[in-house]
Amino acid sequence: MIPIEQFLIELKKSIILFQPETALVVTFLVALIVDLIFLKSKNISGIILLIGFIVTGILLITAGNQNSVVFTKMLAVDPFSKFFKWVILISSFIVVLMSFLSKELYEKDRRLGEYFSLIAGMTFGMFLLAGASNLIMIYLAIETMSISSYILTGFTKEIKRSSEASLKYVIFGAVSSGLMLYGISILFGLTGSLNLYDINYAIAHGKAEMFPLLISGIMIIAGIGYKISAVPFHFWTPDVYEGAPVTITALLSVASKAAGFAILIRFIKVAFFDHTSPVAADTWKLLSTIDWKFIIAILSVLTMTFGNLVAVWQTNLKRLLAYSSIAHAGYMLMGVVVMTDAGVASILIYFVVYMFMNLGAFYVIMLFANKIGSEELDDYTGIGYRSPLLAVCMVIFLISLTGIPPTAGFIGKWYLFIAVINSNYIWLAVVGVLNSVVSLFYYAKVIRNMFLRGVDQEHEPLSFSPMSIVMLLLLVIPTLVLGIWYGPILYWANKSVGLFLGN
């Protein structure tokens, strides 16, 4: 045991490094209390949230480039987690802004205080997940994030599909966390530790048998796979994405997925990789009897193929994007298969790009839903002539999701393929590009309904507030600019692949 003085010193150091998360907790509490004081005002806690997020961002900047663990190895503070924290923070920030413009949330005299403070709670959970390096911490962080998102999914509770989605989400969530917890207990039994670094040490010294290790590993990956909606753990995704308010769908599809990927990469890399090996390519050697790479490659192929093929048949836009987000998780899993620095960097790049284009697509859906009250593909007929600006932006987002230059989505996919090809996984790359072609079909269906159909009808123009247009431009400009000038993102992502790997 460490002596108490040393513990106090460590605690002091930890608290300093924990400032961004602390700011989020404070934001959460202040938002709750302020909402109770100013009962009449609907927006006040949202504004508190925005301020809180900005403060968190400033604290993230001032924290500098740390690479260490805090709270007795509970959390890692490293460039990798910081990168994901930025993605999570920015997407939560955008989602809060989106919420101000959502008609769905503001009708029926709802209490929005809870809504906003729960977003803060969810963000906090995702922040923890980005850095968690202890199995208990992983579990707690996932639950913090999930419980907030269960409630948020059912926030429009009088709408049947929303409460149904929430219930489904809870049940699926409970099963998967049960599985995960079981996996954790096996792993604990095998290695005698909950700490990922100690687990790594135990495995490296041959203290764990391979078969139980396989079982526990698969269970934990199943638990995380549920969060990133990888096939076959994806069943909740379409229903929840369709039922939840659009803003929450957007948050789930970007931020929660980012947190899931952060912990997936960290878990595999910290616990299972042989870090003593001088050859970087030999990292999977520790688990030489189990072909983990192949398992994840299969998972990736299933995820993207299933997501794309089912998306082709969808008629509801939220559902379509739900399946498309499953497919995108599949693309990103290709980076996990590679798991070299380049593979991880390509996932990071993909997330930045994915954040802008996916949030953008959901944002346009929300704005249209505000006016026409529907998310059905058929109701989009000729909408390109009713609101050209929004529809053109939607086209840009969809083209970017397909991965066609000169949009940001191309850069994301491109780097994924670069990483995959460099590791000689040519077959995986071929499956990946063929999937991109399939995905074009359903994205183009949306474009077709917006522009190719209903050209000759009478068009009653839709008008949108200047505020909402500004927001839209904030999302569409990065989507275009990152497509032709992506040097900084590339640089930043490559600098952020450093995980704290223990010593």
Partner 1 sequence: MFQIFGIGPLTWITFLPLLGMVLILLIPSGKDERSKDVSKSMFRWVTIIFTFLQLLLAIWIYANYNYHLAGINDPKGFQFVDKFKWIYLWGLPLLGNVRIDYFVGIDGISAPMVLLTAIVCFVASFSSFSVTKALKGYFAMYLLLDAGMMGVFVSLDFFLFYVFWELMLLPMYFLIGIWGGPRKEYAAIKFFLYTLFGSVFMLLVMIALFFAVGSFNMLDMMDPTKYNPNSILFGVDTTWRYIAFFALFVGFAIKIPSVPFHTWLPDAHVEAPTPISVILAGVLLKMGTYGLMRISWPMFPDAVKQFQWFIALVGVVSIVYGALCALGQHRVGKRDFKKLIAYSSVSHMGFVVLGMAALNTSGMEGAILQMFNHGTITSMLFMVVGVLYDRSHTRGLDDFGGMANKMPIYTGLMTISFMAAIGLPGLSGFVSEILVFLGSFQTYPTLTIIAATGIVLGAGYMLWTLQKVFFGNVPEKWAGPWDPTHKKYKTDDLNLVEFVALAPLALIIIYLGIQPNAMLGLMEKSVNHLIYFVNTGWWTMSAGL
Contact residues toward partner 1 (CB under 8 A) are 340-342, 345, 385, 395, 399, 404-406, 410, 414, 417-419, 421-422, 424, 426, 429-430, 433-434, 436-437, 440-441, 444, 447-448, 451-453, 455-456, 484-487, 490-491, 494, 497
Cβ pair 69, 77 in contact under 8 A: yes
Q: How far is the CB of 387 from partner 1 (least distance, A)?
A: 14
When the beta carbons of 235 and 491 are compared against partner 1, the nearer one is 491
When the beta carbons of 321 and 497 are compared against partner 1, the nearer one is 497
Q: How far is the CB of 407 from partner 1 (least distance, A)?
A: 10
What φ, ψ does residue 316 adopt, rounded to 5°?
-100, 130
- Residues 6 or more apart whose Cβ sits within 8 Å of residue 45: 31, 32, 34, 35, 112, 113, 116, 117
Query: Could you tell me the end-to-end alpha-carbon distance of the chain, in angstroms, rounded to an integer?
Result: 18
Measured CA distances, 391 to 265, 343, 363 (Å)? 36, 34, 12
When the beta carbons of 70 and 497 are compared against partner 1, the nearer one is 497
**CA 417-272-303 angle, 5° bins:** 40
Q: How far is the CB of 135 from partner 1 (least distance, A)?
A: 29
- Residues 6 or more apart whose Cβ sits within 8 Å of residue 376: 315, 316, 317
Q: How far is the CB of 450 from partner 1 (least distance, A)?
A: 11
Q: How far is the CB of 436 from partner 1 (least distance, A)?
A: 6
Determine the length of the chain: 503
When the beta carbons of 350 and 410 are compared against partner 1, the nearer one is 410
Distance of CA 117 to the CA centre of its chain: 19
When the beta carbons of 137 and 398 are compared against partner 1, the nearer one is 398
When the beta carbons of 113 and 432 are compared against partner 1, the nearer one is 432
The alpha-carbon radius of gyration of the chain (Å, integer) is 22
When the beta carbons of 294 and 441 are compared against partner 1, the nearer one is 441
When the beta carbons of 295 and 392 are compared against partner 1, the nearer one is 392
Q: How far is the CB of 288 from partner 1 (least distance, A)?
A: 23
Q: How far is the CB of 358 from partner 1 (least distance, A)?
A: 19
- CA 92, CA 255: separation in Å to the nearest integer? 7
When the beta carbons of 206 and 461 are compared against partner 1, the nearer one is 461
Distance of CA 179 to the CA centre of its chain: 21
Of the candidates 376, 383, 128, the one whose C-alpha atom is nearest the C-alpha of residue 256 is 128
Q: How far is the CB of 106 from partner 1 (least distance, A)?
A: 33
- The residues that bridge with 69 in the sheet, in sequence order, are 76
Distance of CA 107 to the CA centre of its chain: 28
Neighbours of 378 (CB within 10 A): 10
When the beta carbons of 372 and 418 are compared against partner 1, the nearer one is 418
Structure tokens at 165: 């989605």
- Residues 6 or more apart whose Cβ sits within 8 Å of residue 190: 202, 207, 208, 209, 212, 213, 216
CA dihedral 395, 461, 380, 157 (to 10 degrees): 110
Q: How far is the CB of 184 from partner 1 (least distance, A)?
A: 32
- CA 16, CA 439: separation in Å to the nearest integer? 46
- The residues that bridge with 134 in the sheet, in sequence order, are 195
Q: How far is the CB of 500 from partner 1 (least distance, A)?
A: 17
